[in-house]
Amino acid sequence: MPYRSLMPEKDSPASAVPSFSNRLGAWFLDLLLITTLLTLPLTWFFDPLRINWGPIHTTMSWGWKPLVIPLLLLVVRQALRAKVKLTKSFLSTSATKKALASWLVTWGFFMAGEGILALLNVKPEASSPIVIRGEEDIDTKFKKGDNKVIEDPELLWRFAPNVRWGEMHINSLGFRDHEFTANKQTGEIRVISMGDSCTAQGAPPYSTLLNALLEKSAPTTNKWHAYNTGVFGYSSMQGIRQFEKSVRSLHPDVVTLYYGWNDHWLFGKPDHLRMAVRLSPMRALFADALRKKRFYNTMARVARTPQLMDSSAKEGELDYRVPPNIYEATLKEFVSEIRELGAVPLLITAPSRKLTDAIVRSGHAHDKTEADRAHIEYVEITRKVARETNTPLLDLAAIMQAPEYDALFLGDGIHFEQEGLQFIAQQIHAKLMELGVAGYFNNTSSTNRNSVAKVP
């Protein structure tokens, strides 16, 4: 074959060299295509996307729109390459192809898994909701027609500060007590009474009656004061969150824990999946995206420890607000956090009498027999936690079991007459005096507070 025949014709299309503008356009399309392919998984991950910017508070769903853009770019790119006969580009390099393939295969695995779980009807959002730090006003609203309670995304609800109704007064700190400051006086010993409506009820509540007893006779020569942070309807899960948010800063020396009733009332979802977790905006962005994905919630269920396992109720069924295993774990964590402050935890079992049909009508229980059985179980869990953690226990359920205490209860078998609250204050006072004799409140030795020795 002649040498000349091996050379392309002068005007042959094969000899055409792409212009600089065509090459620049092709490279720009490559970079744009790579960018869209890299962001494609992110648009899926952050779908729907919560937007809180200035006065704009909305949620936007991407749908299939992000997939259309790279497809259109691919079509335009191929058409341009065919037109200008471009053989090399940034996207055609081996390193780019491998990096892009690794990215898409990794995310493709999760996207495919999400699709399979969706076909299996696995529900997303099986973890706690999110509240973004600095944007609490978006998530916190007053109840309509109720100025006594504020909805709180972390606590579910709390008392509104500086409100009075009837004989009840809520101070500026949001507690059912007289005004007091978060900072203690020098030498003051503080007893913080935490609990549900059994702690918050009364005119006055048992914490105020206890305060009067401590002023007359205290376990030490210090000035002792008792304060009330109980809230109607609170479970132990709400209590420990309240301790972390506001009670810890009161510098308690003794914390009494009176919970158990609301923990075994029925609800559609347990408290730990209803109570929001506060995060910074950036962490909340990723956490909120994860909790909406089925694959994440599926892996979380598998990896979750038995204490944090979701309740066994099926969708649409009611279950305990704080299931037994979580109630036990919560009390143990509560005791640990109180001791970390150098304070003394005091567990109190909740006594009871014959329950009424009101708990069934309210949806708290399926029937009275089941509610009685559940309450006995939760009282025993409280005793078990006290034994296993060597925590002081005031076993009111055992003390008030005798018939002569019947008159101290209200008709619902849960709450107390004023005489009953006085009796509880006396029992707590006697227990504190007993602990004082045992050396729990010696100012010179904090080890007595955290002692793991046999407690009274």
> Does a structural domain hold residue 294?
no
Query: Would you state the pLDDT for residue 207?
Result: 97
Q: Check whether residue 79 and residue 185 sit in a common domain.
A: no
Same-domain pairing of 38 and 174: no
Interval 188-211 mean pLDDT: 96
Give me the long-range contacts of 449-456 (CB less than 8 A, separation at least 24): 449/339, 449/342, 449/343, 449/344, 450/339, 450/342, 451/390, 452/390, 453/390, 454/390, 455/390, 455/391, 455/392, 455/393, 456/392, 456/431
Residue 216, domain member (yes or no): yes
Domain membership flag for residue 103: yes
Whether residue 335 sits in one domain with residue 241: yes
Give pLDDT tens digits for 343-365: 999 999 999 999 998 888 888 89
pLDDT digits (tens, 9 = 90+) for 41-93: 777 676 766 665 655 556 667 666 777 777 777 777 777 666 666 556 666 67
> Which positions ≥6 away from 175 have C-beta within 8 Å?
159, 227, 228, 229
Domain of 267, CATH number, reads 3.40.50.1110
Q: Are residues 255 and 213 in the same domain?
A: yes
- Structural domain including 26 reads 15-119
More confident residue, 387 or 160: 387
Do both 258 and 335 map to the same domain? yes
Looking at the fold, whether 341 and 429 belong to one and the same domain comes out as yes
Residue 162 pLDDT more than 80?
yes
Q: Residue 22 burial (CB < 10 Å; 0-12/13-18/19+)? A: middle
Number of domains in the chain: 2
Residue 368 lies in a domain: yes
> Does position 193 have pLDDT exceeding 90, yes or no?
yes
Q: Note whether 168 and 309 are same-domain residues.
A: yes
10 found inside a domain: no
Beta strands in 143-222 (DSSP E): 149-152, 156-159, 163-165, 168-170, 188-195
pTM beyond cutoff 0.75: no
**Residues 355, 247 within the same domain:** yes
Within-domain flag for 453:
no
Question: Do residues 314 and 391 both lie within one domain?
Answer: yes
Q: What does the alpha-carbon distance between residue 129 and residue 291 come to, in Å, rounded to a whole number?
A: 8
Residue 209 lies in a domain: yes
Q: Is residue 142 part of a domain?
A: no
User: Among residues 76, 78, 79, 47, which one has the least CA distance to residue 61?
Assistant: 47
36 with 178, same domain: the answer is no
Shared domain check, 98 and 166: no
pLDDT at residue number 284: 47
Average pLDDT of span 149-174: 86
**Where is pLDDT greater, at 8 or 259?**
259
Same domain, 349 and 416: yes
